[in-house]
Amino acid sequence: MVSKDIPEIPILDFEQYRPDDPKHQEATSAFLKDLYDTMHEVGFFYIRGHGVPLPLIQAALKSSAEFFDLPLNEKLEIAMANSPHYRGFTKLNGETTDFKQDNRETLDLGREYPKVPVDAPAYTNLRGPNQWPKQLPSFKPVILQLLESMHNVGLRILRAMAQSLGIKEDEFMAMFGDDLGMRMKLTYYPGMENKKDVPLQHGIGVGAHKDYGFLALLLQDEVGGLQVQLLDGRWIDAKPIKGTFVVNIGEIFEKLTKKRFIATTHRVLNNNEQNRYSIPLFLAPHNQCKIPQLTQFSPDENHRLDYKSDVAEDQLLQGDVYGENEFKGYRRSHVEVTRKWYYFDQDQQQWRRRPTPLSI
């Protein structure tokens, strides 16, 4: 279906994937073949027929825009710096990707979890309570509903991916038990002509990167700006298509498949006139998970270690407990939050939470 010569991001229809319906075997097999080819050649696709209702999608994008429209001082009341769980608001230019400050604001959140004791292993703090804008009463229920709905779609996609790779589905899906890693990032990219939230002139909302972890499922509004880097190095637009999510995988999944499935490099450009809102959801294994080795993909089948990308291979994958890796990623992306809440214990050679946070 997909050929290296055709710069396109395929649209896959989830209505065709009914693995538990014997009458639907042919369509399901065709879907799985398209999925495999797409992940092998492009690493990005649109999914439609996913079942998440349009009114929920519209309500979530509206809630997100209402949040980012609040005055900065009100958004800062729920700044990520308040949270040892790396959950909360990050202001414009507050993060750096590909050596440039991002031209975006974000609100990081996940499923609600209780507070974590200070002496628990540091990485377990990635679960914890969210911070919610108290000015917007419908925000929390709408966003949590979207989170659960998108997570169901994500799990179905992961199952389909395991089937299309011919790997043991049960073993693979066991990594994503009840306590699976799940992060949502409400995101606002101000337009270049925005007078209130003035972007830096480089015009890059988020610089070239690969996602780490497993699966990213993205809801984008109708403005556009997401770009995907093909295997030959060319950048193409992932134009918004109503009623779809955009799907890609992260580096740990790519490694697991020995690059049969690729973690494609992508970036977002700020639109000239319009503000853009997007809501990615990232799914990852539960944080005590040890990533299994898939022995059927032997290294000598790994025929394209050298595909072109503007970003280097990540070094995040050394630790064997998944949560340690994820924690490393957050430490690196949010240096100030890390300094406030954590320190490296030289005696024990491990990261720990500070009994009292630094006041910064």
Ligand X SMILES: O=C(O)CCC(=O)C(=O)O
**Footprint of Fe ion on residues 210-239 (CB under 5 A)?**
211
For ligand X, the binding residue among 63, 125, 149, 187 (CB under 6 A) is: 187
Write down the least CB distance from residue 227 to ligand X, Å: 9
Give the Cα separation of 13 and 321 in Å (integer).
Answer: 34
Binding mask 196-215 for Fe ion (x = CB under 5 A): ---------------x----
For ligand X, the binding residue among 40, 85, 127, 185 (CB under 6 A) is: 185
Give the Cα separation of 1 and 39 in Å (integer).
Answer: 12
CA 331 to each of CA 104, 123, 205, 263, 265: distance values in angstroms, whole numbers, following the listed order: 19, 10, 21, 21, 21
**3-class secondary-structure state, position 44:** strand
Nearer to ligand X, 34 or 108 (CB): 108
CA 96 to each of CA 13, 109, 113, 244: distance values in angstroms, whole numbers, following the listed order: 35, 19, 28, 28
Write down the least CB distance from residue 62 to ligand X, Å: 17
- The angle at the Cα of 199, spanning 216 to 335, to the nearest 5 degrees, equals 60
Nearer to ligand X, 68 or 351 (CB): 68
Binding mask 239-278 for ligand X (x = CB under 6 A): ---------------------------x-x---------x
Alpha carbon distance, N-terminus to C-terminus of the chain: 54
Nearer to ligand X, 312 or 360 (CB): 312
Dihedral sign of CA atoms 321, 325, 330, 332 in order: positive
**Footprint of ligand X on residues 280-319 (CB under 6 A)?**
280
Greatest alpha-carbon span in the chain: 62
When CB distances to Fe ion are compared, the closest residue is 211
Binding mask 93-132 for ligand X (x = CB under 6 A): ----------------------------------------
